Chains A and B, each alone.
Chain A
Amino acid sequence: MIRSIIHILHGTYTQLRSLVMVFSHAFRKRDTLQYPEEAVYLPPRYRGRIVLTRDPDGQERCVACNLCAVACPASCISLQKTEAEDGRWYPEFFRINFSRCIFCGMCEEACPTTAIQLTPDFEMADFRRQDLVYEKEDLLISGPGKYPEYNFYRVSGLSITGKPKGAAQNEAAPINVKGLLP
């Protein structure tokens, strides 16, 4: 009898206590972010909209090696290689279907020239699925993106008619990719 009365009193106390505790939340800061008005903070490495970057000289970095298309688990990248007059490769078209893209960043990891990069931007919703297929004009940006100094052809060398790799003035000798020494 006594025990059950104590039990009831204690139960009443705990219920009232949780009422007070919940009420105290009225004076706390709210966790909600008012999204369209308040911008969301996205870290620099956030994997969002994919861009194609240019090297410091302002030329397309992409050499149309197709490694990104191979690495892509959703098979959303498609491109066609073509060659410039100086022997440099570039994509004739480069197409990313963002309605299939899962923003995994495998393409960025696979890219040998740091051409394809993911950016902190996710606001790309659209009403028609077809509008989510981005062409090269939509993807290509004017700057070098995350790697401002890197220029693939400065590292690899570029051979043109009458000049082998690394033979021009101010051009570094090509890196020996088979060697172990740094």
Chain B
Amino acid sequence: MSWLSPEMADIVIQILKSLVIMLAVVVCGALLSWVERRLLGLWQDRYGPNRVGPFGAFQLGADMVKMFFKEDWNPPFVDKLIFTLAPVVAMSALLIAFVVIPVTPTWGVADLNIGLLFFFAMAGLAVYAVLFAGWSSNNKFALIGALRASAQTLSYEVFLGLSLMGIVAQVGSFNMRDIVDYQAQNVWFIIPQILGFATFFIAGVAVTHRHPFDQPEAEQEIADGYHIEYAGMKWGMFFVGEYIGIVMVSALLVTLFFGGWHGPFGLLPEVPFLWFALKTGFFIMLFILLRASLPRPRYDQVMAFGWKVCLPLTLINLLVTGALVLAAQ
């Protein structure tokens, strides 16, 4: 055991922690497929899947068995390399972005001092999943989906970044742990940055391509859009990737605007993970509630809303915040 020096042990422990966090995120994302269907059922006065296991909790297992045993079919007309790459990007991009999320004071994968920028980069990369899939599928509907995705991306990426600059200006750092500490010392950013929260929430929904920003995969209009040609586990990776995106954006909302692992008014500091999980769960529920209740706008409406409403709002927010930060110095 001579190799197990204290530094080595630290590294091993850190790797184990990272693995646990990654597995937890993936499992949460996969379980969400069941949670979402149960919640949608609840809000539509029905039950949802409740046959497999207690309350249908093993539905995920049944779905996975089904998906693994499906034929991994590549249509003959697709661009095989990019076609295979797209689901990998879809699942990994936002999963990798999770490394910057500080779960508790002691848990967290990486303490990057460019934390927020890393998330922006990964959110930008995640778009490639849709574009790759839409292009390589060689299918009209998939291409329309990808077209819509790029139009949408153009409109939300701009204010996605700007909506968080108010926070960066106040904290003076891109580091997530600094942001959480600042909120614990002062006030949660939901209060001073309410405009930033509103716009970032909208942009976050758009990043995950969830209702009401799911024009790229509008089932009713273009039959699932960019992943129309996918089947089996490749489709499953798109599916899980979408849920990982939800977990990721919910965790990010909690970290940036709701004090991360801190309870309200410094309540119960002994259970940081519980607070983090509770708040993240709340936002995940909100994501599903959005899907349950809001209709889907046209994508030109999304673009108009993004450029004409959200972008000015973020700019006003940034200007006011900047002025106040300067005045306070």
Contacts and interface: CB of A to CB of B under 8 A. Distances in A.
A23 interface: yes
A21 B293 CA distance: 8
Interface string B19-55: 0000000000000000000000111111100000000
B8 interface: no
Interface stretch (A29-37, A49-57, A125-133, A154-162): A29-37
Contacts, number: 35
A22 B44 CA distance: 8
Interface residues of A, number: 15
A132 to B, nearest CB: 27
A25 B44 contact: yes
Interface in A139-154: none
A23 B285 CA distance: 10
A16 to B, nearest CB: 10
Interface string B287-304: 001101110000000000
B43 A25 contact: yes
A30 B46 contact: yes
B-side interface size class: 10 to 19
Contacts of A176: none
B289 A25 contact: no
A15 interface: yes
A22 B289 contact: yes
A31 B46 contact: yes
A22 B42 CA distance: 10
A171 B292 CA distance: 71
Nearest to B46: A32
Contacts of B45: 25, 28-32
A19 B43 contact: no
A74 B191 CA distance: 71
Nearest to B313: A8
A8 B44 CA distance: 28
Contacts of A22: 43, 289, 292-293
Nearest to B293: A22
A2 to B, nearest CB: 15
Contacts of A34: 47
B47 A18 contact: no
A25 B293 CA distance: 11
Given A18-B293, A22-B292, A22-B293, 11 more contacts: A8-B309, A15-B294, A19-B289, A19-B290, A21-B293, A23-B43, A25-B45, A26-B43, A30-B45, A30-B46, A32-B45
